[in-house]
Chain A
Amino acid sequence: GIQVEQSPPDLILQEGANSTLRCNFSDSVNNLQWFHQNPWGQLINLFYIPSGTKQNGRLSATTVATERYSLLYISSSQTTDSGVYFCAGNSGGGADGLTFGKGTHLIIQP
């Protein structure tokens, strides 16, 4: 299966700052998703983005499938953006469970 690497592992920013989280994957993907894990452990879907660019409010994501990476942008960070962000992908086919990266732990300080 594919391997997923996320960077940076930890990020501490002041409220209002912008941030970029990166996800590299070892092979081509059919499915690429970004999640935010809330303090209670639930994974909240941010983007389903096997390729291209999407935006949702202050968040946007870009996947460059040919170069095997995806970026998550957070603008004008708020304290509620704190938490762990996961990137996950699969290479498609019948067995298509997601392979997750180790996550980026983001802390937004007031």
Chain B
Amino acid sequence: EAEVAQSPRYKITEKSQAVAFWCDPISGHATLYWYRQILGQGPELLVQFQDESVVDDSQLPKDRFSAERLKGVDSTLKIQPAELGDSAMYLCASSLGLAGGGEQFFGPGTRLTVL
């Protein structure tokens, strides 16, 4: 069964260090999303790609976060420098990108701890 892949599954880093997360969407899915989930809350959208283009990054803290999807397939989310408040689960999702969004499927997530 096709799945969204993410790595690493867990990451521990010290504040001020740089971290990067990788996501490989379901094959053929044109739309890719990155969400952040703080403990005890629902996920919140950080950035949305349609193929290689950013559709929505209004909630991405651009002073320290960056995201790219250079060839319109896999994607990388980077944080530099990491802060204590960045400790969270980072979830990647993908969808076919049909009009109206279509069903989104999520990967297993990367759990980030910033010390």
Q: Are A97 and B103 neighbours in the complex by a CB distance under 8 Å?
A: no
Contact between A86 and B105, CB atoms less than 8 A apart:
no
For the complex formed, measure the closest distance between the CB of B75 and the CB atoms of chain A, giving whole angstroms: 14
Query: In this assembly, does B72 line the interface, its C-beta being within 8 Å of a C-beta of chain A?
Result: no
For B102, give its contact among A4, A31, A88 (CB under 8 Å). A31
Given A100-B44, A101-B42, A103-B42: A95 and B99 interface contact (C-beta under 8 Å) = no
- Whether the pair B55, A95 counts as a contact (CB closer than 8 A) is yes
Query: Would you call B103 and A41 a contact (CB within 8 A)?
Result: no
Report the Cα distance A103→B89, complex, angstroms: 16
Question: CB of B25 within 8 A of chain A?
Answer: no
The CA of A104 and the CA of B51, in the complex, are separated in Å by: 34
Question: How many of A's residues come within 8 Å of B, CB to CB?
Answer: 26
A94 within 8 A of B: yes
For B108, list chain A residues within 8 Å (CB). 40-42
The distance from the CB of A28 to the nearest CB of chain B, in whole angstroms, is 11
Confirm or deny: B56 has a beta carbon within 8 angstroms of a beta carbon on chain A: yes
Interface presence of B21 (CB below 8 A): no
User: A77 at the A/B interface (Cβ < 8 Å)?
Assistant: no
The interface of chain B, by Cβ under 8 A from chain A, is 31, 33, 35, 37, 41-45, 48, 50, 55-56, 58, 89, 91, 93, 99-109, 111
Residues of A participating in the B interface, judged by any CB pair closer than 8 Å: 4, 30-31, 33, 35, 40-43, 45, 48, 50, 86, 88, 90, 92, 94-103
Closest 9 CB pairs of A and B: A100-B42, A97-B45, A96-B101, A95-B56, A30-B100, A48-B103, A43-B106, A31-B101, A92-B100
